[in-house]
Homo-oligomer: A and B are copies of this chain.
Amino acid sequence: RVLRIGLIPGDGIGREVIPAGRRILEALPSSLGLKFEFSDLHAGFETFEKTGAALPDRTVEVLRNECDGALFGAVSSPTKAVKGYSSPIVALRKKLDLYANVRPVKTVRTAAKPIDMVIVRENTEDLYVKEERTIERPDSEGGKYAEAIKRISERASSRIATMAGEIALRRQKIRDSSSSSSSIHSHPLVTITHKSNVLSQTDGLFRTASRAALSAPRFASALTIEEQIVDSMVYKLFRQPEAYDVIVAPNLYGDILSDGAAALVGSLGLVPSANVGEGFAIGEPCHGSAPDIEGKGIANPIATLRSTALMLEFLNEEDAAAKIYAAIDANLEEGKLLTPDLGGKATTEEVVQDILKKL
């Protein structure tokens, strides 16, 4: 099977880590029967400054017409509002209908408590529809204000909950078939996160549509379903992270929860994500463009390497993905070659080489 992968480094350390994704794909053993081709594509703030478009049409077209998947690095958020600029990754998720943002968070010797959860974030709506308006009123009438729409649909909620249910079943299957009994979960659990005590219609719909989707017979018999209000979810995430298996959330809560979960495993530099649609996936490290370490060659490549594996999982190449995960785990367990975010002194290049060696 030949897979064509779009490579979109973006800004900052995105340019230092995305090449690692390409290299690990090229280094996969030929016994897997996989070949990779690559398309170099552009997006990001620098692209915006050069071309006037943060997400050039060509990038979207090549992804849509020629690619099977992609890797996306990171984009810089300008420190001041810039006219005409808006985040290309948010636009890309919507244009390609990558309706799920899947963020596994797992410890390998980096945290006090063992953690093994996946945050399944709805990726197309909520406040991310970006329908905003500003109303100028004289001060005597209360002054200026702005409004944004939070939109939650039954269809998107039901679709993301179904994805969460399927991921929970798949994780349990892997646990059941794995020889090691090291798993911290004995039973699959999906936790629905919302704030329906305040937003009874929007988050209320997310809640009821999720519950309805997860009461389908194949889920209902196999999964435990729970709910958490988002503020209390953040509290629990930090007090009892070991208790959570799959968390499903609307877009913005999912964004916040996944950064919180990343903090628990020690570094954003470890946490991958995949933006997943029908038959297409974009791997994307959860970290940003990290201007503070840009150009120093010390960015942790693991979030990108794990995102590469995650992309492969959603392209149904689970064996290839497993090989990459195992090489990364071996590097972390050994603990000799770690980047500074993990307390080590290794460079990006040294970590990549170590992981390629362990592949």
Contact = CB atoms under 8 A, between A and B. Distances in A.
A126 to B, nearest CB: 10
A230 B259 CA distance: 9
Interface stretch (A33-41, A130-138, A319-327): A130-138
Interface stretch (A1-9, A181-189, A193-201, A350-358): A193-201
A129 to B, nearest CB: 9
A196 to B, nearest CB: 7
Interface in A93-109: none
Contacts of A132: 199-202
A277 interface: no
A121 to B, nearest CB: 11
B234 A197 contact: no
A81 B200 contact: yes
Contact of A200 (B86, B128, B150, B288): B86
Which 9 residue pairs are nearest across A and B when measured between Cβ atoms? A238-B263, A145-B153, A132-B201, A77-B197, A231-B259, A146-B201, A235-B259, A148-B150, A148-B202
Contacts of A127: 150, 195, 198-199
A230 B204 contact: no
B154 A144 contact: yes
A262 B288 contact: no
Interface string A163-192: 000000000000000000000000000000
**Number of chain A interface residues as a range:** 35 or more
- What is the oligomeric copy number? 2
Residue from A86, A143, A151, A235 with most neighbouring chain B CB atoms (10 Å): A235
A198 B128 contact: yes
A52 interface: no
Contact of A201 (B148, B230, B235, B268): B148
A145 B152 contact: yes
Contact of A260 (B146, B195, B234): B234
6 contacts: A145-B151, A145-B205, A146-B151, A149-B150, A195-B252, A238-B264
A87 interface: yes
A57 to B, nearest CB: 22
Contacts of A81: 196, 200, 204, 208
Contacts of A134: 201, 205
B154 A145 contact: yes
Contacts of A146: 151-153, 201-202, 204-205
Interface string A244-266: 00000000100110111011100
Nearest to A139: B155
